[in-house]
Structure 1
Amino acid sequence: MLIFIAVVAGVYTIASGFLQVRYLKDMVVHTFTGKSSESGVSPFQSLVIALSGRVGTGNIAGVATAIAAGGPGAIFWMWFIAFFGSAAAFAESTLAQIYKKKVDGEYRGGPAYYAEKGLGWKWYGYIFAVVAAVSTCLLTPGVQANAIADSMNNAFGIGPVITGIALVVITGYVIFGGVRRIAFLASYVVPIMALFYLIVAAIVIFANIEQVPSTFALIFSSAFGVDSAFGGMIGAAISWGVKRGLYSNEAGQGTGAQAAAAAEVSHPVKQGLVQSFSVYIDTLLICTATALMILMTGNYSVADPDGGYIVDYTDGMEAGAGYTQAAVDGVLGGFGSPFVAISLFFFAFTTLVAYFYIAETNLFYIVRGASRKIFSNILKVLFLAAIFFGTVRSATFTWTLADIGLGLMVWVNLIAVILLYKPTMAALKDYQLQKKQGLDPVFRPSQVNIKNADYWIEREQEDEKRKKTM
């Protein structure tokens, strides 16, 4: 899987002329322009829905487990997969916009939809929809819920059962309110908590500013196996860095694509660029902040694959949010544990809500007609049960389930993404041409010979009728 995603991301990176760098300005501009409509959310709201899924346990506990299993060099490989993975995020999100449709008055889209419309493989769309619904409803929520329970227990002594009940009640209130309540929650909670987290990280880093050069030197030397302590861990560094980086930023998984489809934009590429930018925010900004806090304060341990530890600076503490809590505590006293616990709660909670949105989107693809509401309510009950289950199980068990869900979704999604190379690049070239002409790009499928883009074809036809009556 790791090789496959690197190949797919590399193909789109080269073919697009490194859009991750060339269109960085456009990413920022499109993120903060555009408005919502009766059917869709704004590009910014779509971004934060995607970020609510991306920014979660992986940014705090996931970074710690990557360091513990792969050494400091794992952080470099997290950056690596973020840079190239942003091209895969662009491709899947652009495709989600091209082949989106209206369902019950709201935009829905994602891998199931572009497999059916773009490839003409409805059966493959069903495969992804089933895999995604099962993964995001039953397999991946547990790791977020478990991390919340663990951090609350460490910081406040609250038992997992109490945390599980409270989490079920709060999550139930949000998911029964529909996509607009989800978007409203994400648009406020994610930016505010991310900002506070980055401010605290900056304080910790500034307090250890003399460690910056040596910390980056440690990351790079460990990544390529030349560090004296971690020289034999290059394979583990690559594996764990890419795996945990991918879990955090979700590039190529198809989840961000479903949030992208909900946006109201004039051209699919605009939202593709916005979602590409979200990968940078998740990994290059928030994950890096966590990694620097842990490494600069020396609050980490690295396991020896043959048993024991290569280094043990935490007295055998289980890898996870505790590393970050200890790092902040070292600078800000007893503030660290509660702050990280609260941050992790909001990050992981918004991820849970995003998971439900993804599960429901794929359920709606599978189930049509009047029975949709009944199945949606069943899905909500199963999802809430999975959350409670995750709070009372071990971290190892929940991470294993999450890795299974992640792997299944990446494989099924990326096969479709690479096979739909042609319409993706056609949309990008159309965007580039209109930009060169000084226009605000507007997507017209007939001009780029993209078929079965039903929503955009109807929109183009309506525009033609409007012009004739004027």
Structure 2
Amino acid sequence: MEVVKTIVGFVNTILWDYVLIFGLIGVGIYMTVRLKFPQFTRLFPALKEMVAGIVNKEEVEEGKMTPFQALSTAVAAQVGTGNIVGVATAIAAGGPGAAFWMLISAFFGMATIFSESVLAQKYRETKDGELVGGPAYYIKNGLKSKGLAIFFSVTAIIALGIVGIMVQSNSVAGSVSQAFGVPVIAVTIGLAIVVALILMGGMGRIASFAETVVPIMAGAYILGSLAIIVMNYANFIPAVKSIFIGAFSPGAIGGGVLGITVQQTVRFGLARGLFSNEAGMGSTPHSHAVADTKHPAEQGFTAMIGVFISTFLICTSTVMVNIASGAYNIGISAAEMTQGATVMTQNGFAAGFGSFGGMFLSICLSFFSLTTIVGWYFFAESNVKMVLNAKPVTINAFKGIVLTALVIGTVIDPTFVWELADMFMGIMAVPNIIALFLLSKEVKYILDDYDSKVAVGKLHWEYEYQNIEEKKNNKKSVLRKGLSTTIIK
């Protein structure tokens, strides 16, 4: 087992310290420039459009999601324990300046997630009356590489549908048990029942759950964080100052006591930002692929909102609670603080709300983990359909595997399982990054097509699905996807 742990640790170091930071940030910068900085021009109009869709109560056919439901499902997966515990770990090991680099990664991540979403929309398929899509589908249909698509799907199933489920259920069981004194077995049974009821309802119930719970969950945490910040308003300006100074000169914070280098600050900030918002990881495109929207670019704009919510709002809330409340103590070493990173945010809320603060955070963590379980299951299911061309009986069997992993996860040490999840999610991201770069021309074309149609007030995007039989090595290829754009007269 020690040999396995050593190998996993080595692979994670290569992936998260080098390959993914340069790959994900690199593709984010590249797409930002190529798309002419959509973060500045597209985000707030997309927010306005999303609110209008909620007010008008959009409805869609069975087997599809509304744009807001797709966004909620994506945010359900993006917002998890990493936004609380992970962010605390980042500023513990990289200092307050890590928060600045976390926001930088999110800024460029918006262009990345836009690209993922429009490609997922373009290359999606219909199976058993439901839309399905994601990186495996745009790798297979866009890059014409079925082998690489299968590789992505297998790692996604393991990372999101099995190992990832284990660590999230462990977080729920531990948090609720400690905060409320409920036995772990009771929490496990309750969690398994809730998740089973949601999953048995299929895409429709998952979408309804996400659009109902996610806004309440995120809103409550942000409001609770604002309350702590207001209670410590005198520390607000010093906290912001420590973030900007620490980003470029961490030794200047606390007179150099931290012993943190600029390299550590940048590394932990970028890595945690990328992990928390999942831009470029290849997970969230699965939900954006099934959104019923007039044009793929519109769902791309909506996807950018998910990164904004996950990192700019929720992760920043965690950072400010820790620094402004004094839960993060700049007078002790990074090594000492890292050991206690998991209780930093809890101490921050307890400083303002007393014992209720610990219960409040436990409830938030539980809902964050629950929504992540549901979101990750949905993403994994899309890849099961890709690998096995799955029928309902196969999907039901996979649901059983997921629920088994959920139960096992509540009774094991999560440390090594988290490392496994990091490894498989990192491996999963590599083929996605390759596809985003190679298909960047198509992303640009889709955005230009959108702008040209908005300019004349005739927005329409039409998909044509054709079943065409082709002979190749005595086998039949049954799907060819055509794409056309039409201006409505």
Shared fold, TM over 0.5: yes
Deviation at 1:325, TM superposition (A): 1.9
Q: Assess if the C-alpha contact under 8 Å between 1:136 and 1:355 holds in 2.
A: yes
- What amino acid does structure 1 have at the position aligned with 2:167? V
Match of 1:386 among 402, 405, 414: 405
Q: In the alignment, does 2:87 pair up with 1:30?
A: no
**SS of 1:454 mapped into structure 2:** strand
* Farther-moved stretch of structure 1 (233-242 vs 29-38): 29-38
* Whole-Å separation in 2 of the counterparts to 1:434 and 1:170: 44
* Whole-Å separation in 2 of the counterparts to 1:310 and 1:349: 31
Match of 2:291 among 257, 263, 287: 263
* Farther-moved stretch of structure 1 (30-39 vs 121-130): 30-39
Q: CA 1:394–1:408 in 2, change beyond 3 Å: closer, same or farther?
A: same
Q: Assess if the C-alpha contact under 8 Å between 1:40 and 1:262 holds in 2.
A: yes
Q: In the alignment, does 2:32 pair up with 1:13?
A: yes
In the other structure, the counterpart of 2:190 is 166
Q: Assess if the C-alpha contact under 8 Å between 2:69 and 2:211 holds in 1.
A: yes
Q: Assess if the C-alpha contact under 8 Å between 1:79 and 1:283 holds in 2.
A: yes
Q: Which stretches in structure 2 are left out of the alignment for 5+ residues?
A: 1-19, 465-478
* Whole-Å separation in 1 of the counterparts to 2:272 and 2:458: 37
Measured on the aligned residues, the alpha-carbon RMSD in Å equals 2.3
**SS of 2:116 mapped into structure 1:** helix
Q: Assess if the C-alpha contact under 8 Å between 1:139 and 1:404 holds in 2.
A: no
* Whole-Å separation in 1 of the counterparts to 2:297 and 2:480: 14
Q: Assess if the C-alpha contact under 8 Å between 1:445 and 1:453 holds in 2.
A: no
In the other structure, the counterpart of 2:207 is 183
In the other structure, the counterpart of 1:52 is 76
**SS of 1:300 mapped into structure 2:** coil
**Over residues 33-73 of structure 1, what are the superposed CA-to-partner deviations in whole Å (9 max), with x where a residue is unaligned?**
45332131111111101010011111111111212222222
Match of 2:461 among 443, 446, 452: 443
**SS of 1:263 mapped into structure 2:** coil
Q: In the alignment, does 2:368 pair up with 1:347?
A: yes
* Whole-Å separation in 2 of the counterparts to 1:160 and 1:54: 25
**Over residues 74-98 of structure 1, what are the superposed CA-to-partner deviations in whole Å (9 max), with x where a residue is unaligned?**
1111101100011110000010011
- What amino acid does structure 1 have at the position aligned with 2:291? A
Deviation at 1:209, TM superposition (A): 0.7
Q: In the alignment, does 2:296 pair up with 1:278?
A: no
Q: Assess if the C-alpha contact under 8 Å between 1:303 and 1:311 holds in 2.
A: no
In the other structure, the counterpart of 1:225 is 249
Q: CA 1:444–1:373 in 2, change beyond 3 Å: closer, same or farther?
A: closer
Superposed, 1:400-411 pairs within 5 Å as 400-411=419-430
In the other structure, the counterpart of 1:360 is 381
**SS of 2:182 mapped into structure 1:** coil
In the other structure, the counterpart of 2:262 is 234
Deviation at 1:357, TM superposition (A): 0.4
In the other structure, the counterpart of 2:280 is 252
Q: In the alignment, does 2:438 pair up with 1:419?
A: yes
- What amino acid does structure 2 have at the position aligned with 1:287? C
In the other structure, the counterpart of 2:317 is 289
- The number of equivalent residue pairs is 447
Deviation at 1:341, TM superposition (A): 0.7
Q: Assess if the C-alpha contact under 8 Å between 1:31 and 1:47 holds in 2.
A: no
* Normalised TM-score (structure 2): 0.86
Deviation at 1:373, TM superposition (A): 2.3
Q: In the alignment, does 2:128 pair up with 1:104?
A: yes
In the other structure, the counterpart of 1:449 is none
Q: Assess if the C-alpha contact under 8 Å between 2:463 and 2:482 holds in 1.
A: no
* Whole-Å separation in 1 of the counterparts to 2:230 and 2:308: 22
- What amino acid does structure 1 have at the position aligned with 2:84? I
**SS of 2:126 mapped into structure 1:** strand
Deviation at 1:303, TM superposition (A): 11
**SS of 2:131 mapped into structure 1:** strand
* Whole-Å separation in 2 of the counterparts to 1:165 and 1:74: 38
- What amino acid does structure 1 have at the position aligned with 2:50? T
Q: Which stretches in structure 1 are left out of the alignment for 5+ residues?
A: 447-451
Deviation at 1:386, TM superposition (A): 1.9
* Whole-Å separation in 1 of the counterparts to 2:437 and 2:443: 9
Superposed, 1:135-174 pairs within 5 Å as 135-174=159-198
- What amino acid does structure 2 have at the position aligned with 1:353? V
Q: Assess if the C-alpha contact under 8 Å between 1:247 and 1:406 holds in 2.
A: no
* Whole-Å separation in 2 of the counterparts to 1:245 and 1:325: 20
Q: CA 1:182–1:372 in 2, change beyond 3 Å: closer, same or farther?
A: same
In the other structure, the counterpart of 2:15 is none
In the other structure, the counterpart of 1:195 is 219
Deviation at 1:429, TM superposition (A): 0.7
* Whole-Å separation in 1 of the counterparts to 2:418 and 2:296: 34
In the other structure, the counterpart of 1:323 is 344
Deviation at 1:393, TM superposition (A): 2.5
**SS of 2:142 mapped into structure 1:** helix
Q: Assess if the C-alpha contact under 8 Å between 2:153 and 2:383 holds in 1.
A: yes
* Normalised TM-score (structure 1): 0.89
Q: CA 1:301–1:209 in 2, change beyond 3 Å: closer, same or farther?
A: closer
Q: Assess if the C-alpha contact under 8 Å between 2:257 and 2:331 holds in 1.
A: no
Deviation at 1:397, TM superposition (A): 2.0
Q: Assess if the C-alpha contact under 8 Å between 2:72 and 2:210 holds in 1.
A: yes
Q: CA 1:361–1:96 in 2, change beyond 3 Å: closer, same or farther?
A: same
Match of 1:397 among 406, 416, 420: 416
Q: CA 1:440–1:328 in 2, change beyond 3 Å: closer, same or farther?
A: farther
Q: Assess if the C-alpha contact under 8 Å between 2:170 and 2:410 holds in 1.
A: yes
* Whole-Å separation in 1 of the counterparts to 2:460 and 2:257: 54
Q: In the alignment, does 2:155 pair up with 1:134?
A: no
Q: CA 1:327–1:455 in 2, change beyond 3 Å: closer, same or farther?
A: farther
Q: CA 1:120–1:302 in 2, change beyond 3 Å: closer, same or farther?
A: farther
Q: Assess if the C-alpha contact under 8 Å between 1:301 and 1:311 holds in 2.
A: no
- What amino acid does structure 2 have at the position aligned with 1:435? V
Q: CA 1:109–1:453 in 2, change beyond 3 Å: closer, same or farther?
A: farther
* Whole-Å separation in 2 of the counterparts to 1:229 and 1:18: 39
